[in-house]
Structure 1
């Protein structure tokens, strides 16, 4: 984490006497004039970052056919990222959203604060059902004054988020963490089933033994997946692709390795 996410740059530390080899541009001419001999400004890396976690709590996340619900996995990953940032002494904030911003925890430092973020991620009960990702991203841009590292943890089942995402990534370092269940990509052949849309309360009766229906579903799912990846690529947002049937630690490590390679 520390090797991948750097601070905002260099900050002033102290003034000391000039030594052979010091750069001329680092000389503090005001102090030099007062003291009668050269002094230089010393800088250190400003390590502190602000990490914002945008957590999708819409009803579509309360789905899962393997191991965990998407919502449980999203909350767990959110907690892992919060604790990692805290270990590095970074500020951490949370924006939990559905079709509206449900909860905002302003970024602060310290274990007590981070445990609050973890608690909200794991146990907060949203009132909304739908998803409004553009609104959540725009809210982030309003409440953050400085550049942040922002993780958006969502299944990204929404529309019209490309432009807000592009604008936000110009101000922040935005990383998309996409949560997907295998049944969202491939329909099983299990006969007649009833499907409920948790966000609209609509119900559907489907005959999954229909080969054409399964083929159409699978093609549409892959198309949406490719469209989502294309959006991320077009706005230069990195994506951590998480699946509920695969341990997420490997995908997180793969992302950090990729980021580290980019910095070299």
Structure 2
């Protein structure tokens, strides 16, 4: 019998993150919600000690005295993972492991943090076939089923990826405000995709995790047969061995990553590019930290 995926997540979290980092990661997750629900309830008069950032300035102008936004006193939050489970996620990540393993670890770590805090975790998985919604739940067994769902769907035989269809499904179908964590391959941001993300940002709190493509020009790949999972196109070995081309490739990846993060930031969305399993814990820490600072 295979080892449960959540057990593997916990083991890797213990191995790759010492106690201080785990504590900081846990704290950054907690600070995303700032101790309150995401759901707006009503307004009340300002009282000394209230947070200035909670003042509803438009309502205050109409009323003539400061009014504070109040939120539903419900400590359970929903964390929804939108994961591109097309065949692109079956390819190698930049760190040399499969993107599927990186995605499982990232979803597992954030999902585990959510459950530890009493929150609910759910999933929308999608490709060119119909997206599937796994309803949010708050138990480790539910998180295990969610991880198994991702693991089953991602393979070289899976349908092609279709991130726009996945995000469009979330925008149309998920009405309750949540923390939406999008997990994707390295993707370009087309005008259509940016429009969907802009809509999702209005509906939800959004985090973006992209899993970096493998550098096919790395020395250890020179003698291996490498092909594109989307069309089985191969890159000739003499091209992969060209040092000048490799330098251009590395520079282009850095430029594209910076451009994508700038585009996300312009929308008010925090993003992080993760290159491998070793990069998951520090990458998630920086993502949550950036999101918390962006909210202030």
For normalisation by structure 2, the TM-score amounts to 0.67
Superposed counterparts of 1:17-56, under 5 Å = 45-56=73-84
- Distance in structure 2 (CA, Å) of the matches to 1:158 and 1:100: 21
Match in the other structure for 2:241: 209
Partner of 1:2: 30
The structure with the largest strand share of the pair is 1
Query: What is the root-mean-square deviation of aligned Cα atoms in Å?
Result: 3.1
* Alpha-carbon distance, 1:203 to partner: 2.6
Q: Secondary structure at the match of 1:136?
A: helix
TM-score (structure 1 length as normaliser)? 0.74
Residue aligning to 1:36 = none
For CA contacts below 8 A with separation 6 or more, give which structure has more relative contact order: 2
For the 8 Å contact 1:95–1:101, the answer to whether it is kept is: no
Number of matched residues?
Answer: 234
Structure 1: runs of 5 or more not aligned: 13-20, 22-41
Q: Unpaired segments of 5 or more residues in structure 2?
A: 1-28, 43-47, 49-69
- The residue that corresponds to 2:18 in the other structure is none
Supply the distance in 2 between the matched residues of 1:4 and 1:149 (Cα, whole angstroms): 9
Asked whether 1:252 is paired with 2:284, we answer yes
Closer/same/farther in 2, CA of residues 135 and 240 from structure 1, 3 Å limit: same
Q: 1:90 and 2:90 equivalent? A: no
Task: Name the structure with the higher helix share.
Answer: 2
In structure 1, how many angstroms separate the alpha carbons of the residues matched to 2:293 and 2:106?
23
- Judged with a 3 Å threshold, the aligned counterparts in structure 2 of structure 1 residues 191 and 167 are, in CA distance, closer, same or farther, namely same
Q: Which residue of 2 is the match for residue 157 of structure 1? A: 187
Higher radius of gyration, 1 or 2: 1
User: Structure 1 residues 247 and 197, CA, compared in 2 at 3 Å: closer, same or farther?
Assistant: closer
Q: Is the 1:91–1:108 Cα contact (8 Å) retained in structure 2?
A: yes
Shift of 1:117: 1.3
Report if the CA contact (8 A) 2:123-2:136 is conserved.
Answer: yes
CA distance change for structure 1 residues 178 and 2 in 2, over 3 Å: closer, same or farther? same
Give the drift of 1:115: 2.7
Deviations 1:13-55 (A, max 9, x none): xxxxxxxx9xxxxxxxxxxxxxxxxxxxx99722222211011
Deviation of 1:261 after TM superposition, in Å, equals: 4.2
